[in-house]
Amino acid sequence: MKRFFLIIAFLTSVNAQDITTLEPIGTVVRVEKTEQSVTLHCRDNSQVRLTILAPDLIRVRAAFGKSIPTKDHSWAIAKENWPAPRWNLNETPDSITITTDELEVAVRRSPLLVEFRDARTHQLLNADERPMSYDAHGRLASMMFDPKAGTFVAASKKLGFDEHFYGLGEKAARLDKRRSSFVNWNSDTPGYTDKTDPIYQTIPFYIGLQRGIAYGIFFDNSYRSYFDFGKSSQQRAWFGAEGGEMNYYFFHGPSIKKILGRYADLTGHMQLPPLWALGNQQSRWSYYPDTMVEEVVSEYRKRDLPLDVVYLDIDYMNGYRVFTFDKTRFPDPKGLTDKLARQGVKVVTIVDPGVKHQPNEKGYHAFDDGLEKNFFQRRRNGDLFVPRVWPGDSVFVDFTLPDARRWWGDLHRFYTDNGIAGIWNDMNEPSDFVDQTGKNQLDVVSYDEGEKSTHAKNRNTFALLMARATYEGLERLQPDRRPYVITRAAYAGIQRYSTMWTGDTNSTWEALALNIPMFTSLGLSGEPFVGSDIGGFIGRGNGELLVRSYQVGFLAPFCRNHKQIDGYDQEPWRFGKYYEDIIRKYLKLRYALLPFLYTTLEEAHRTGVPLFRPLLLNYQNDPNTYNLDDQFMIGDDLLLAPILKPDVTRRLVYLPAGVWYDYWTGKQYTGGTMISVDAPLDVAPMFVRGGAIIPVGPMLNYVGEKPSDTIGFVIYPDEAGAASGDLYEDDGVSPAYKSGAFRRTSFSSRRTARGFTVSIGAAQGTYNPGPRKFNFAVKAAGRTGRGVSAVDNGKSREVQLK
């Protein structure tokens, strides 16, 4: 028995890297200052460089036992050059202190410890628990995935007694990551459940929150990485990687929203997808032949269910060859997309990274051409790397080669010529059926800006570069249209190129409940456009689960029902009229709310603050929200508390301080408390913040079906009778919004002796939406008041409501 426990203890210690055995960086012997950075020279020849990028953004880069290399490249970073902010340096015999308008970074010389404080309050934000360290003696080598590829590097921070941790991208875990640890190694993990780790994506960025004050850390290192938020020891929160540099960015809040804005500046802002991407989407592995696709769309139309997009999964291809159509199943792809376009439906096709490689096959242009150009990945000995994926033996493109990215992007002409509206990148971890862990790929070399590095460094960025090739290709092929790309795997920065979905979930209640912390965490990690297979991907669902799943997904940016090939059919009507009628109600509500959703999506593009939010993002000073992961908000104004369990028709809902309106009944509540609400199957408890003005559009079967000649505004007054809101509009398809072709209108309303006065602000931007009316109505005392209309002339004015 004792031996058994010893073995268990040994196994767990092997899994959890003991960073206390690592070699600490040497003490500081010399300090060198440049215009924007301070380089610390250490006794052991190590170097640490602190670069002041902005008053609230400091980069920390260390090289152990050597100088910091001049080569400095990351696929994640969008903005490399930052204008030097105001800062100064103060040296004492014990320490070096950098001060900006917002941050104070103090470095103790011996031992070398970095500490971040708020420059105004001197409050400690984050401090090293031990010096940055590295595996000088190979002590962790035996537990490394590829010991030959690098040296383990780590940084360790003091763990606050009441510190909460958020972000880290796509993790099958709770919202608050305190007392958990994670690995980043993009992995194909069908049927993952709570705590499966790693899964598909790597976003090595987290936010710490203590006493309402937040900081952020982005550890920009693409090697297999580890984050431990006080799991292995209550002393520390540490992060490390099996190679590469100690290289992290420190963000000062104090607000999380501000950190997300800076993170977006650094790694790129999400570009607006076409507006139809917010429409309802339907998928199946796989709809074929073409007549079945038409049938799906015609069912949608017949049943008065809105639909914008239908997906073609792998069976549309000729033997799973990307950039081909199966001639029998889809004899006339252009004819099909034209026909569906007339019904307002777009087609998105899957494009996996595996290019089929059949010995002696001649004439498959994607393989022949890529081989001739030498764009495919090879092993160190020069052999082609041949993974096995859906097509069988295949090859992968080396997307680190700029010419290969261009070539791959250009190949998408095949799709755009056939009227395909968007591209779905899957299996891009990259998945390899020969060995899913990646061991079979260790000696695969990528060009990597001339570094010719191996899989250990390139696995986690493979999907980012594939999505980039796709996005840039679509941009070149159709410069007047916004690209629409969706990906499964990712690395930080992916928001510049792609939307995402959370892969192969189960059709279970547990998987449904995970949607909320996963979507909110992705939003706190710079990825705003997220969603999950509605109804779940694997297994046999049921009508109740499907309805409850729509009650979460109908407000997620990406709203798509998708199902595995051998799973039970789950289009909205498959379980009968009772369920279908409820689903219709939610899909229609989504379309009515499109003006609100699009306004919130544009905010995510501009500010980095996601639409699908945990409550703590809006109520950062309210500790009741810090680990609330069965409720969420859309923007500032809608609060949802869906049912996530079978046979449940009532639940508790936490409402933060302020006035709240039950969306369905209009009943008013005073927040700062828990309430208990009824939630029969047709009700997803939903509340509107008092103080909001929610824009609503006309009933549509698809985006752009008819002009929005009347936009409604529902006013929900706060305790003082005031409310405000915005409406963002543009053409919804072209990139012209980037050069000012949008229209932003602000609204505010106040209670007066005579009723309500609404002030319409002067429209900003050059986009002209055409003639139309605004229709205002006040929600009060459980009902919506009589509406008053005003012709929109783009000018600032006031409207009186009774």
Name which of 787, 789, 776, 720 is nearest 750 in CA terms: 720
Q: Is 571 in the site for ligand GLC (CB under 6 A)?
A: no
Catalytic option among 170, 326, 429, 731:
429
The CB-of-510 to ligand GLC minimum distance in angstroms stands at: 18
Phi, psi (deg, nearest 5) at residue 370: -65, -35
Q: Which of 27, 95, 285, 384 binds ligand GLC (CB under 6 A)?
A: 285
Which amino acid, residue 679? A
Name which of 496, 613, 515 is nearest 559 in CA terms: 515
Residue 421 Rama label (left phi>0; alpha psi -120 to 50; beta): alpha
Residue 504 burial class via C-beta count within 10 angstroms: exposed 0-12, middle 13-18, buried 19 and up = buried
CB-wise, 556 or 727, nearer to ligand GLC? 556
The CB-of-367 to ligand GLC minimum distance in angstroms stands at: 19
β-sheet with 213-219: strand ranges across: 28-33, 37-42, 47-54, 57-63, 246-252, 213-219, 205-210, 164-167
Name which of residues 656 to 695 contact ligand GLC (CB under 6 A): none
CB-wise, 114 or 427, nearer to ligand GLC? 427
Q: Say how far apart CA 687 and CA 660 lie, in whole Å.
A: 6
* Cβ 131 vs Cβ 113: under 8 Å: yes
The CB-of-219 to ligand GLC minimum distance in angstroms stands at: 27
β-sheet with 392-395: strand ranges across: 355-356, 392-395, 388-389
The CB-of-390 to ligand GLC minimum distance in angstroms stands at: 7
Give the nearest residue (CB) to ligand GLC.
285
Name which of residues 346 to 375 contact ligand GLC (CB under 6 A): 350
Q: Is 313 in the site for ligand GLC (CB under 6 A)?
A: yes
x/- binding map, residues 510-549, to ligand GLC, per CB under 6 A? Answer: ----------------------------------------
Q: 3-class DSSP state for residue 790?
A: strand
x/- binding map, residues 96-125, to ligand GLC, per CB under 6 A? Answer: ------------------------------
* Cβ 760 vs Cβ 798: under 8 Å: yes
DSSP string, 503-531: -S-BSSHHHHHHHHHHHHHHHTTT--S--
Name which of 674, 423, 645 is nearest 512 in CA terms: 645
Helix, strand, coil percentages in the chain from 3-state DSSP, rounded to 5: 25, 30, 45
Name which of residues 161 to 190 contact ligand GLC (CB under 6 A): 190
CB-wise, 349 or 600, nearer to ligand GLC? 349
Q: Which of 146, 398, 426, 731 binds ligand GLC (CB under 6 A)?
A: 426
At which residue do the structure tokens 């309805």 appear? 547
The CB-of-504 to ligand GLC minimum distance in angstroms stands at: 5
CB-wise, 215 or 316, nearer to ligand GLC? 316
Binding footprint of ligand GLC, residue count (CB under 6 A): 10
Name which of residues 455 to 494 contact ligand GLC (CB under 6 A): 488
The CB-of-536 to ligand GLC minimum distance in angstroms stands at: 12
Q: Say how far apart CA 109 and CA 96 lie, in whole Å.
A: 7
Q: 3-class DSSP state for residue 619?
A: coil
The CB-of-201 to ligand GLC minimum distance in angstroms stands at: 13
The CB-of-313 to ligand GLC minimum distance in angstroms stands at: 5
Catalytic option among 115, 426, 662, 729:
426
429 in catalytic set: yes
Q: Say how far apart CA 71 and CA 336 lie, in whole Å.
A: 50
Q: Which of 128, 504, 602, 726 binds ligand GLC (CB under 6 A)?
A: 504
Q: Is 432 in the site for ligand GLC (CB under 6 A)?
A: no
Positions in the binding site for ligand GLC (CB under 6 A): 190, 285, 313-314, 350, 426, 488, 503-504, 562
Residues involved in catalysis: 426, 429, 504
